[in-house]
């Protein structure tokens, strides 16, 4: 049973990443308002914003299997796996999932459906 879901890292990391992404949008708006004529540079920066936002949303995936959780990040060398045997505690919280392992605590922003599936699969 391998199911794939989207996730976002914990709140401080998400705020940092999305702040830089929104800076691209603000730069696009600034160009548009400064030049007062809709030009190609405004379109290019807006397209860059849309691409960066899609990359941040679509590349962060987590795969739930019977034995582990496999996380894919935007930058491939940040990928990691959490084995079921390493999980000490898993808890559903208001905005996501809290996973405590032998080595580290993970706080993830995920959908309720994934949080419930992960809890039911990994807490056994």
- pLDDT given for residue 93 in this prediction: 87
Strand order across the 87-93 sheet: 80-83, 68-72, 61-64, 3-8, 105-110, 96-101, 87-93
Give pLDDT tens digits along the chain (124 positions). 688 888 888 888 889 999 999 999 999 888 888 877 778 888 899 999 999 999 999 999 999 888 888 999 888 888 989 888 888 988 998 888 899 998 899 999 988 888 888 888 877 6
pLDDT at 21: 94
Alpha carbon distance 21, 23 (integer Å)? 5
Specify the pLDDT at position 124: 67
CB-CB neighbours of 20 under 10 Å: 10
Coil vs helix vs strand at 21: helix
99 and 90 Cβ atoms separated by less than 8 Å = yes
In the chain, what is the straight-line distance between the N-terminal and C-terminal CA atoms, in Å?
Answer: 15
The rounded distance, in Å, linking the Cα atoms of 103 and 48 is 37
């Amino acid at each position: 049973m391998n199911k794939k879901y989207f996730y976002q890292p914990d709140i401080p990391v998400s705020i940092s990443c999305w702040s830089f992404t929104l800076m691209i949008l603000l730069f696009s708006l600034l160009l548009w308002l400064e030049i007062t004529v809709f030009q190609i540079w405004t379109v290019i920066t807006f397209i860059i914003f849309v691409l960066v936002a899609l990359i941040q949303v679509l590349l962060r995936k987590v795969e739930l299997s019977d034995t582990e959780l496999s996380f894919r990040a935007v930058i491939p060398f940040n990928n990691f796996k959490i084995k079921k045997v390493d999980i000490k505690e898993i808890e559903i919280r208001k905005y996501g999932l809290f996973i405590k392992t032998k080595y580290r605590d993970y706080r993830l922003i995920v959908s309720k459906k994934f949080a419930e599936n992960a809890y039911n699969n990994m807490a056994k």
